[in-house]
Chain A
Amino acid sequence: MNADIWSLSAIAVVAAVTFLLGYVGSRKANTTPDFLVARRAIPATRNAAAISGEYLSAASFLGVAGLVLKDGVDALWYPIGFTAGYLALLLFVAAPLRRSGAYTLPDFAEARLGSANVRHFSTFFVVCIGVLYLVPQLQSAGLTLTTITGLPAWFGGLVVTVIVVVNVLGGGMRAITLVQAFQYWGKLFAIAAPTFVLFVVFLASPDRGTQPISDDGVVKFPKAETVTIAEQVVKVRVDEPLTLKVRGQIDGRDANGAVFWGRGLYELSPGTTLEFTAGSPVPVIEGSPTSNFDWTRPQTGGISELIRTYSLIFATFLGTMGLPHVLVRFYTNPDGKAARRTALHVLYLLGLFYIFPTVLGVLSRLFLPQLLVNGKTDAAVLMLPETMLPNLGGQIVGAIVAAGAFAAFLSTSSGLVVSVAGVVSTDILPGKVRDFRWATVFTGAVAIGLALLLPRSDASLTVAMSFALAASTFCPLLVLGIWWRGLTWVGAVCGLVVGGGMVIAAQVVSVVSSYTGRWAPAFITQPALITVPVAFIVMIVVSKATRRRVPADVSQILLRLHAPDPLGFIQDRSIARFGTAEEKARLAEEKRRGAGRTR
């Protein structure tokens, strides 16, 4: 119970600071540019911290360590890809996108291609990606609160939604910039400090936590352990025979009492309780290596593992540049040069962070083998402190980790809600501040509804899917739009529909397969390797076929995107719609003068 109090107070502190900073940041926020792009006045270093704070979601804070625990060295491709994505963003997108002066991604698409159609399709995919990304955040928030306090899962998601929506209602982008920048440093501390403490504990422990393993490298339980299977059916693979006590259902048949398991696959129904004795081998959830031998070595899963790795590299390397909540943060920089510097800062901030989840994942392999049975590896980071340090110290360290995880949900969800609400309010509603507020409430409601309805899977995997979607839709649109004169709106729309449609179809198939026995091959569960090139090819081919529709002003636009900032071509979009009174007056004046001169 003490642990609960520590963790709950740490979470309360994070929530309070979030509110406070949000309040400070939003005192002066009253115009649409404030709400959408924080008046474009955020310096590079602070924006970089805010971007990193927003980007390090539940998938990074909890998911990476969980995947390392489960899949070992191959899981390290997630942090690499998550970071490398910013390099691609820096190389191809950052500066020109900022110079476009657009407010949102659909706004950019329309400005570049001169068609309202492409805008509608972009809006659809922004909302898709945003929601697909938001749902695992809220679900992980539920998991976190359940793990540390035992409160029901829906409660955590609801708390996060309410805090985020209230904060965003207050000041939009201006409010969350400060919050997210603070939360990056908070999260770095919340993962670095526990890692140092636990690593010292590990080094100081008498047997160095050496794990009992069998001759084949199968992990054994260091002490007796009881595992309960939660909501979903779980398949476990047994590589070494064992005896255990079961209460519940195995392979659909009732079981109660001692059971012998030989090598093979076993299906466990929700609610089944398994009691293992100390020293019995650990059954491992299907799809992950069962022995430490395979776990420490890369690429032991054969060809399909290889394809999955390549697909993951593709999706994360190219997907980051298509994430609407990340891109919208680059619009808050004052100019293109600052946007480029921001992306560079982000590279080292992320690299600094990702060292720590890896260490925690390795430690949890030693101390938390029971998570391999029920597959709830996302909880590893939260459970590790108290397992390794069963005293007050462990409770405090655990509270720090819980607070960090909570900060992760808050900052990522805030960013997603702002970007989706920004798009909904400007593209579907008239785009006033009041519309932005309605869109915020609407987005929050949809997200929490879906989070409660949909089944939970690993945060990193769902997030990887939204990366695949972003990489197959906005990545080709942005790269071709920024660098190639020949892109037409017809080509862009075809590419968006084909690329996005294929990923969504693959997602549906893999959800179905996860319910009916995981039969989907690797290129469906990780589709990016195929869908990204297809989207590029479709966009290029269709654009070539519809060459007549290349906008007449394409050279003008490319000049604006690429001309160095000091030449002064940069100009914000939509001043006529959203600008302050003086901006509108200046625009009208320029128009009048321009007209006067031609006469």
Chain B
Amino acid sequence: MSRHDAGKPEQPAREAWLGEQGSRPRRRRVVLADSTKKSGKALRTIIELEEQTSVGEKLVRDLIRQQLKSAFGLAFAVLIGMCLLPITFYLVPSIGDLEILGIPVPWLVLGLAPFPILYGVGWVFRRQAERHERDFVNMVDR
């Protein structure tokens, strides 16, 4: 089988995945996955989302911006926190002489402290992200 043959069948697969909206927009009934909820007006909003009307587009852009803001804010906080440590140790070598319970402070700061902090940041992000999504669903579902 040549590479050309392998490449060709890709296109229909991609269109199928995009729900045929990729090339030309067309009206399409969309069913909520969560069928237990009543969804009268919601359906229209979802169709707007799918068909990328100006309203739908704005909604999605806002959601993405919100999520990105949380993610970037937390990532920068963590990265800056991590990056400050080596330079501090480098500029203030006397930190290496401090001890708590006989263990040098740098060993505690690098060996124990980061793990609960990383988990905590992850937990905060999960809460924020899920709240943004809940708000979005509520707005669509109203």
Q: Which residues of A contact B (CB under 8 A)?
A: 73, 76-77, 80, 83-84, 86-88, 90-92, 95, 101, 110-111, 114, 116, 296-300, 306, 309-310, 313, 317, 337, 340-341, 343-344, 347-348, 350-352, 354-355, 358, 430, 483, 551-553, 555-560, 562-577, 587, 591, 593-594, 597-598
Contacts and interface: CB of A to CB of B under 8 A. Distances in A.
A559 B21 CA distance: 12
B107 A73 contact: yes
Interface of B is mostly: helix
B121 interface: yes
A208 to B, nearest CB: 11
Contact of A297 (B60, B106, B133): B106
A83 B111 CA distance: 12
Given A559-B60, A567-B140, A87 B122 contact: yes
Contacts of B106: 73, 297-298
Contacts of A562: 60, 63-64, 67
Given A556-B22, A576-B12, 19 more contacts: A87-B74, A87-B122, A298-B89, A306-B90, A313-B86, A317-B82, A347-B115, A351-B118, A553-B21, A556-B52, A559-B49, A565-B133, A573-B13, A573-B14, A574-B13, A574-B17, A575-B17, A577-B9, A598-B26
A594 B16 CA distance: 11
Contacts of A577: 9, 13
Interface residues of B, number: 75
Given A296-B104, A299-B90, A587-B16, A553 B60 contact: no
A317 B21 contact: no
Contact of B60 (A86, A563, A587): A563
Contact of A313 (B18, B27, B74, B82): B82
Interface of A is mostly: helix
A317 B76 CA distance: 12
B49 A563 contact: yes
A309 B70 CA distance: 27
Interface string B8-32: 0110111011111111001111111
A83 B55 CA distance: 40
Nearest to A578: B13
B119 A347 contact: yes
Nearest to A89: B122
Given A552-B22, A556-B18, A567-B46, A358 B28 contact: no
Contacts of A557: 18
Interface in B96-118: 96-97, 104, 106-107, 110-112, 114-116, 118
26 contacts: A87-B78, A87-B122, A88-B75, A91-B75, A95-B129, A110-B14, A114-B22, A116-B10, A299-B86, A306-B90, A313-B83, A337-B133, A351-B114, A355-B111, A358-B111, A553-B22, A556-B18, A558-B64, A559-B50, A569-B50, A571-B17, A572-B17, A573-B13, A575-B16, A594-B26, A598-B27
A209 B82 CA distance: 33
B14 to A, nearest CB: 6
B44 interface: no
B86 A310 contact: yes
Given A306-B86, A552-B22, A562-B67, A73 B122 contact: no
Nearest to A297: B96
Contacts of A300: 93
A77 to B, nearest CB: 7
Interface in B28-44: 28-34
A90 B70 CA distance: 12
Contacts of A593: 29
Given A306-B90, A351-B119, A557-B18, A92 B110 contact: no
Nearest to B132: A564
Nearest to A575: B16
Nearest to B12: A576
A256 B12 CA distance: 74
A500 B21 CA distance: 34
Contacts of A348: 115, 119
Contacts of A576: 12-13, 16
Contacts of B7: 116
